[in-house]
Amino acid sequence: IWGLCILKRICQQCHAEMVNDCAVTVQGGMYGIKISRKGNGLFNKASAIPKAAVCPNCGGVAFYIDEYKQFKK
């Protein structure tokens, strides 16, 4: 597929390749968390659902979003 880029995330602690696309939820809650930025104007708001990458070697966790380009000003 053209334009599809699968980013390999590397653990900052032990430098192993991380497992991407893990869900982020709040324990005991029905909903996860959401990252948003309020912009100027009616349609200038950005929001994304975060995902996590987990290191299978040391257990390190890194959060990321796929829609990061929406947050550029």
The pLDDT of 19-24, averaged and rounded, is: 90
Q: Which residue has the tokens 């939820």?
A: 25
The pLDDT of 8-35, averaged and rounded, is: 86
Region of 58 (left: φ > 0; alpha: ψ -120 to 50; beta: rest) is alpha
Residue 25 β-bridge partners: 32
Q: What is the pLDDT of residues 37-50, one digit of tens each?
A: 877 666 667 888 89
Confidence at residue 55, expressed as pLDDT on a 0 to 100 scale: 96
Question: In the numeric block, which tokens belong to residue 72?
Answer: 């550029």
- Higher-pLDDT residue of 18 and 38 is 18
Question: In the numeric block, which tokens belong to residue 31?
Answer: 């909903």
Are 46 and 65 spatial neighbours (Cβ–Cβ below 8 Å)? no
- Higher-pLDDT residue of 49 and 6 is 49
Confidence at residue 44, expressed as pLDDT on a 0 to 100 scale: 67
Please state the domain extents for the chain. 19-71
